[in-house]
Amino acid sequence: MEKLNKIYEKIHASYFAIIGVIIFMIGLIPAILVHPDFSFLSTFISNLGEPSSNDLWIYFNALWFITGILMIFFIFGFTQYLLEKGAYKLGTWLMCIFGVLSAVGILGLAIFNAEDAYKMHYISELLFFFTGILYLFGYAALERKISDFSKWQVIFNIIVAFFFILYLILLIVNRINEDVAVEPRTLAEWLFLFANLTWFVENGFFILKIK
């Protein structure tokens, strides 16, 4: 952490989250615009990173990968912030591990597109989702005992986790029967994506304001 602390002395940890989301959106918007049949009801996020369905698939995946790297830096910075505020040490580091693993899932999603490496892409997806749910509930529990965090801040973690869980439920239903819940699953994926991006931006601004 000593080397990371030197980085955070020069660049506030919050900037990694905020810039990471901006970079992702810079990759996402053009990829959506060039996709021939884009729809929030039929196009999965992963479709934007597939060679056969998007001319900007390399561009999108590259920026998605960069976003994952920046989120790892933010998670470590957020961990430092929580420890400074007196959060339970073991629990904070455990959530840090889950957060980093979730970000590693993002890296896997960017590296292994669903068309050429479906199995690895699917494993990365599950890693991202399950660890994401765990750290969101974990952060809610940790923040509840820190006075700087309002009830809204605690509840916000649970709201975002709900979108993760909703998508996972629909994913499982769709895996059981591929003809069931296709459009709801696709929409749920986009909802959880924007909820997750909002979580990073909101927490980034929060620790920037408080600190």
For the chain, what is the domain count? Answer: 1
The domain containing residue 63 runs over which residues? 2-210
- Closest Cα to residue 183, out of 42, 45, 44? 42
CB 161 within 8 A of CB 154: no
Arithmetic mean of pLDDT, 86-92: 94
Q: Residue 168: pLDDT above 90?
A: no
Q: Residue 175: pLDDT above 90?
A: no
State which H helix or E strand residue 35 sits in. Answer: none
User: pLDDT of 102-160, one tens digit each?
Assistant: 999 999 999 999 889 999 999 999 999 999 999 999 999 999 999 889 999 999 999 99
pLDDT at 211: 59
pLDDT at 1: 67
- pLDDT category, 48, cuts 50, 70, 90? very high
pTM surpassing 0.85? yes
pLDDT, the chain, mean: 92
